A and B are shown apart, each in its own frame.
Chain A
Amino acid sequence: MSVLVDKNTRLLVQGITGSAGAFHTRQCIEYGTNVVAGVTPGKGGQMFDDKIPVFDTVWEAKQKTNCNVSMIFVPAAFAADSILEAVDADLDLVVCITEGIPVMDMMRVKAQTRGKRTRLIGPNCPGIITPGACKIGIMPGYIHKEGKVGVISRSGTLTYEAVWQLTSRGYGQSTCIGIGGDPIGGLSHLDAVKLFDDDKNTDAMILIGEIGGSAEEEAAAWIKANCKKPVAAFIAGMTAPPGRRMGHAGAIVSGGKGTAAGKIEALKAAGIAVAETPATIADTLIARLKNN
């Protein structure tokens, strides 16, 4: 078992004919993901790599292929509309990889999709992977290994770092979710923690956060009250100067809020093992597992 995606996932790629979309679609197929359709407005009727039908609309793709998850590689200016289109087609999950979507666009997407059953991961995220079963996103597949640790993160390469540490030490992952680095997005740390808590095949979790917002604190409070599984965490941005946006649109300490120190304190108070450096994320979890 795993969360959100597995062998049965039928993937649609919005923006499949663009260069990034095409490249990563091929990488996902190579990993074993079942890609059943693509959407690029104006290119309906074509075949991608002679095997995947391309449609003009998500509505049509759903009708013809029964796809249930979408991966979005549409340029930032049009990506919000693509998310809404996927939600309108009542898919189970939308994974938006696109970086640079205006925050106001995401604010409206969030308001317009309230109450809908479709889940959103991202935007500005590496995607989601259930090792050995389904890769939806831009992460390198080979660093992952099937196993029982759930990984949740706002960052891409920092997640790879943690996953690689786990894999190198023989610990596999149930599912790894990159929720993205934007100030307004879909799935939160807390949503992901709840999914892993309910998943029978996840025994422990790694939670990777960074400066900005209060999503890590919210997850910590819930974990303290409800979660029995061991959790290790790392927060990036101890040395980030206040008021500066550190790459990710959401990674900013403003008005003294969203500091790494504050988040680490909240996590520790919730009984979560916090890694002192990014080099010891896996070891921190393993030590916690051995103590239990």
Chain B
Amino acid sequence: MNIHEYQAKELLEKFGVATTRGKVASTADEAEAIARELGDVDLATGRVRPNVGLVVKAQIHAGGRGKGTFKDGFKGGVQVVKSPENVREVADKMLGQTLVTHQTGAAGRVVHKVLVGESAEIAREIYFAILLDRAIAAPLIVASTEGGVEIETVAAKSPDKIIREPIDPLAGLQPFQTRKLAKQLGFEQSQTKAATKLFDGLYRTFIGCDCSMVEINPLVVTKKNEVLALDAKFNFDDNALYRHPEIAAMRDVAEEDPREVEASKHGLNYIGLDGNIACLVNGAGLAMATMDIIKFYGGSPANFLDVGGGATEEQVTEAFKILIADKNVKAILVNIFGGIMKVDVIAQGIINAAKTVKLSVPVVVRLEGTNVEKGKQLLKKSGVELIPADDLADAAQKAVAAANPKNQKPNPK
């Protein structure tokens, strides 16, 4: 699950992590009011005092906002401006408009909120992240004096500039570790207290929100000698969301693939891709492997879909509706190895789906496992038009052929 920049900022503030001042606005009026509250405005002239700027940032889940263009031609989803009136004008141009960036695709995303804040004058940029490292089964701090750029680039070019500090999962981050990090990251003595407080707050955010990663890039030292988290990226552990209803409530379904939103309503594990062969599989490993074998025989998977170990007939029916609704889909491959999930349940789900939605594309079905004969008989008796397959390789080849009727013989890559 992703969250907006303003939500990340709210979470950090809750745990006492210093960030630039600012608030989120849904209207141009609100945006102007926030700009006035931010203070450093010369009341006599209505201008922002020298060395302080205001920034208006469009709130969407995609990167590249600053270089993005709105569909009406207005350029830049991040704007540095001079006065509260300017904030109002810019917010008015952004709100309700569609912003296209290199990450949104051509469709772009509608901006419903803007973040209005002070623009920090940066003296130095640092990279600082806390992640759950599976190899050591513990939190790990990864930091670098090379902030503001992708950490992968730093890791490739100058690996010696990356600091790694593992944290004991039971004892937590120790004060000496924060002091050591401050020293290693080149903070001056006058900044150490602010830096260690920020590191400690970030660790408490990481633990308190059940994150798998919190990345601050950049963490900055301003010309006023402040130490601030300027931008934050959060990854949450989905398994732990049940104990953080306030974070679960931050989900913005308008930012997600509608196919995935629909699937999650029915408890289905679905990830949309851009191919034309839809898959319906039980089990995550087998679902991935099914995508792989489609690709191997020259096809292209339209999705990952794991109906899980205990799917019901209704879930299978809903899954079919989602697959059929995808206009790119030219064939569907059902691959079920019944374990906990009985094959006849899946078969009944397919039959029900065929009754409620028109199966407008060929459906290749491969069934194996618990109650397989019962399942096959159900399908046969139902009269639903399906292409049966003997095994996984046969199923994949038939699906690829069905999706590309002109290409009689699918070519292995």
Total number of B residues with any Cβ neighbor in A under 8 Å: 55
> Which residues from 358 to 402 on chain B have a C-beta closer than 8 Å to any C-beta of chain A?
368-370, 391-393, 396
- Is there contact, CB below 8 Å, between A156 and B339? yes
Residues of A within 8 A of B282 (CB): 157
- Is there contact, CB below 8 Å, between B286 and A241? no
* CB contact under 8 A between A240 and B210, given known A103-B240, A245-B238, A278-B286: no
* CB contact under 8 A between A251 and B212, given known A111-B137, A111-B138, A246-B271: no
Interface check B237, CB cutoff 8 A = yes
Interface check B291, CB cutoff 8 A = yes
Residues of A within 8 A of B391 (CB): 279
Instruction: Name, among B138, B152, B237, B288, the residue most crowded by chain A CB atoms within 10 Å (CB to CB).
Output: B288
* CB contact under 8 A between A237 and B339, given known A103-B212, A160-B369: no
- Is there contact, CB below 8 Å, between B339 and A181? no
Interchain Cβ contacts within 8 Å, total number: 176
- B-contacting 9-mer, from A43-51, A55-63, A208-216: A208-216
For chain A, which range describes its interface: under 10, 10 to 19, 20 to 34, or 35 or more residues? 35 or more
Interface check A42, CB cutoff 8 A = no
How far does the alpha carbon of A111 sit from the alpha carbon of B339 in the complex, in Å?
Answer: 33
Interface check B194, CB cutoff 8 A = no
- Is there contact, CB below 8 Å, between B152 and A236? no
- Is there contact, CB below 8 Å, between A239 and B301? yes
How far does the alpha carbon of A126 sit from the alpha carbon of B338 in the complex, in Å?
Answer: 13
Residues of A within 8 A of B240 (CB): 102-105
- Is there contact, CB below 8 Å, between A241 and B239? no
As a 0/1 sequence over residues 238 to 262 of chain A, the CB contacts with chain B under 8 angstroms (1 = contact) are 1111001111111100011000100
How far does the alpha carbon of A28 sit from the alpha carbon of B283 in the complex, in Å?
Answer: 21
Name the distance in Å between A164's Cβ and chain B's nearest Cβ: 6
* CB contact under 8 A between A249 and B238, given known A155-B285, A161-B286, A211-B288: yes
Residues of A within 8 A of B306 (CB): 247
Interface check A184, CB cutoff 8 A = yes
Interface check B290, CB cutoff 8 A = yes
* CB contact under 8 A between A278 and B290, given known A241-B271, A246-B304: yes
Name the distance in Å between A146's Cβ and chain B's nearest Cβ: 20
- A-contacting 9-mer, from B24-32, B71-79, B292-300: B292-300
- Is there contact, CB below 8 Å, between B286 and A155? yes
Name the distance in Å between B203's Cβ and chain A's nearest Cβ: 13
How far does the alpha carbon of A280 sit from the alpha carbon of B210 in the complex, in Å?
Answer: 40
* Contacts from A to B (Cβ < 8 Å): 20, 24, 76-77, 99-108, 110-112, 126, 138-140, 143, 153-161, 164, 181, 183-184, 208, 210-214, 234, 236-241, 244-251, 255-256, 260, 276-280
Could you list 13 examples of A-B contacts with CB < 8 Å? A104-B207, A140-B370, A155-B283, A156-B339, A160-B368, A211-B288, A238-B292, A239-B273, A240-B304, A245-B238, A246-B288, A247-B288, A277-B292
6 more contacts with CB within 8 A, not counting A104-B210, A279-B396, are A140-B369, A156-B339, A160-B337, A161-B289, A237-B288, A247-B269
